[in-house]
Amino acid sequence: MKTYVPHYYKKFTCIASSCKDNCCMGGWEIEIDQETAARYQKIQNSFGGRLRSAIDMEDTPHFRLAGKKCPFLNHENLCEIFISLGSDALCSVCEQFPRYSEYYGNVKETGLGLACEEAARIIILDREPFHLELLEESGEMPIAGGEYDDKLGGPLFLLRGKFLELVHKSGTGLFKKLQAMLQACYMIQQAVNKNDYGAAAELCETFSFDGAYDCVRQSLDQARTEKSGAFPLNERMRAVAEVFLSLETLNVSFPETVQHVISRLHEGQPDSAYRSWSAEFLKMTGSRICEYENLINYYIYRYFMKAAYDHDVVGKMQLVTAGLLMVHDMEIARWLDFKHNFTVQDRLDIVHVFSREVEYSEDNIMALAEEFIFNDAFDVITLLSLLEELSSGD
């Protein structure tokens, strides 16, 4: 088994009490693996008694939160389990966060999640083109019994590499690149739906920006002829935001933020106002476009290969697109609220909170996957047309 990580992976170190939005106070349930839970049951000192009284053993063992905080987060925002028992006593969730791992045949991929503010800083502010590094090669055997589809996985690995390289390629607008990748995934999905893996593999092998973007133009020209997806821009953007408004939330401030985005940008405003704001915002932050590129490549690296399990190739690029559209709207709203000021920290705060609220709920990821299939707001033509609107500011 070979384990690969993004090039920035080893830069991460927990900043502990310096963290403003500590992962131990996120409001999410902190599950305890069975081995660690059994160890906690055997600790005989007074701290062991505190541990056991703070654990709910029903179903999956987990800590009983004190408000929205882990009961072992002290007044200095430090972990009392770590202090009292050492790092070896941490449960797997606490030991690993914000790291995550995915398995694809004999390949293990590990990364950092944006829900951690320090990981978000490292990922978003990185200035190297995205690439993978071999972390280790071990005798660990591939996980048996999974649904990984090797005949689809190989071509998708190839395509993902092309996508990751394209995102950082200069000379082409970012939203046009997203259009090309979304269009390519749509075409591959048609082949997968027909069980034509040969055609899917060929599309992966022959993908190029120019070829895919030609197909984008054809798709949009045909949609205009048929007047498909022709309802107003604000209605389309509002429809996207309303789906995020309906998701499970950890903190009440997130739906309030999304509702503010809808009210500020998409209610009682002409489409021309939103176009102007988006173009001006992109122009002002143009020197920082690599931050958007890093965000897109984070999503592609973390989620795209999961299509080798569920065969939902286009759904992975719909997730990338929808995520960027929502983050972009949240950023424009903050920029307007602060009189056309928008700092690096503003972006880090938005990206971090969005990840925590959306990505770190499996129910939310599953709900979005359903929306991508059945909600017209995420129809491929609709998303292509939204990206076309935004590309004028590229």
DSSP calls for 335-347: HHHTTT---HHHH
DSSP one-letter code for 360? T
Contacts of residue 348, Cβ cutoff 8 Å, sequence gap at least 6: 117, 120, 121, 124, 125
Candidates 138, 159, 121; CA nearest to 346 is: 121
Token pair 């990185």: residue: 126
For residue 379, the SS3 value is coil
Q: Cα separations (Å) of 299 from 163, 176, 220?
A: 11, 17, 25
Q: Which residues of 103-130 are buried (b: 16+ CB within 10 A; e: fewer)?
A: bbbebbbbbbbbbbbbbbbbbbebeeeb
Residue 332 near residue 341, CB atoms below 8 Å? no
CA 176 distance to own-chain centroid: 20
pLDDT digits (tens, 9 = 90+) for 68-127: 889 999 988 899 999 999 988 899 989 999 999 999 999 999 999 999 999 999 999 999
- pLDDT band of 25, cuts 50, 70, 90: confident
| Residue 107 bridge partners (DSSP) | 2, 104
Mean pLDDT of 235-247: 95
At residue 143, the pLDDT reads 67
pLDDT digits (tens, 9 = 90+) for 163-210: 999 999 988 999 999 999 999 999 999 999 999 999 999 999 999 999
Q: Rounded distance, CA 322 to CA 316, Å?
A: 10
pLDDT digits (tens, 9 = 90+) for 324-336: 999 999 999 999 9
State the chain's mean pLDDT as an integer. Answer: 92
At residue 231, the pLDDT reads 67
At residue 316, the pLDDT reads 98
Tokens at 245, concatenated: 């408004």
Mean pLDDT of 331-342: 97
pLDDT higher than 70, residue 144: no
22-31, 220-229, 284-293, 377-386: lowest mean pLDDT where? 220-229
The percent of residues in the chain predicted with pLDDT above 70, rounded, is: 97
- pLDDT band of 232, cuts 50, 70, 90: confident
The percent of residues in the chain predicted with pLDDT above 90, rounded, is: 75
Domain spans in the chain, listed from the N-terminal domain onward:
1-146, 150-391
pLDDT higher than 90, residue 26: no
Q: What type of residue sits at position 112? A: L
| Residue 2 bridge partners (DSSP) | 107, 137
Q: Cα separations (Å) of 309 from 10, 203, 250, 343?
A: 28, 19, 28, 39
Q: Rounded distance, CA 155 to CA 50, Å?
A: 52
pLDDT higher than 70, residue 228: no
In this structure, what are the phi and psi dihedrals at residue 102, rounded to the nearest 5 degrees? -130, 150
Q: Rounded distance, CA 23 to CA 345, Å?
A: 18
